[in-house]
């Protein structure tokens, strides 16, 4: 079974804005299923489409199956079958040999920045960049699927 081991962190936006970063990739992301036990997601970038199925998270680990699909089909699925959607800009930053994916959310989630790091095991050791803040791996309100239902703009902060 395919597994994803991922930890999530909030970003110190003030520090993040001071670092040099690559050009980000715009993502349009919609959900066909948002269930506590599983999600089925369609993601569209400028150059690719993906269908992803994820299982329930246990700690930082969950089942994940991801398949590249034609861009036209990804757009059709989003336009015709998505029950909820978000958009974001993703930046891939390499720090100390590890790739961090930093998402700058747009629309109803504007102002939220989340960094993710994929690991080989839950106990893998890695260093946090100075712009990484509080860990939110097990806080389900930061799951992208939940951000489509309860967006950041509605949170009491």
Which residues form the catalytic set?
31
Task: Give the helix/strand (H/E) hosting 72.
Answer: helix 71-81
Instruction: Centre a 10 Å sphere on the Cβ of residue 91 and count the other Cβ atoms it contains.
Output: 19
Q: Cα(76)–Cα(42) distance, rounded to whole angstroms? A: 10
DSSP 122: T
- Provide the β-strand partners of residue 100: 93, 117
* Phi and psi torsions of 96, nearest 5°: 55, 40
Q: Cα(101)–Cα(103) distance, rounded to whole angstroms? A: 6
Spacing of C-alpha 141 from chain mean position: 12
Q: Which of 141, 112, 156 is nearest to 16 (CA)?
A: 112
- Provide the β-strand partners of residue 135: 9
């Amino acid at each position: 079974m395919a597994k994803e081991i991922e930890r999530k962190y909030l970003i110190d936006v003030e520090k993040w804005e001071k670092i040099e970063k690559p050009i980000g990739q715009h993502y349009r992301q919609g959900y066909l299923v948002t269930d506590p036990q599983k999600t089925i997601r369609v993601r569209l970038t400028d150059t690719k489409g993906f269908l992803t199925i994820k299982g329930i998270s246990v700690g930082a680990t969950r089942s994940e199956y991801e398949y590249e699909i034609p861009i036209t089909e990804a757009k059709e699925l989003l336009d015709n079958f998505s029950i909820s959607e978000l958009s974001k800009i993703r930046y891939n930053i390499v720090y100390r040999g590890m790739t961090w994916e930093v998402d700058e959310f747009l629309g109803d989630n504007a102002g939220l920045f989340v960094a993710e790091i994929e690991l080989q095991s839950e106990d893998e050791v890695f260093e946090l960049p100075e712009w990484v803040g509080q860990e939110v791996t097990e806080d389900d309100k930061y799951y992208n699927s939940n951000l489509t239902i309860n967006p950041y703009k509605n949170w009491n902060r």
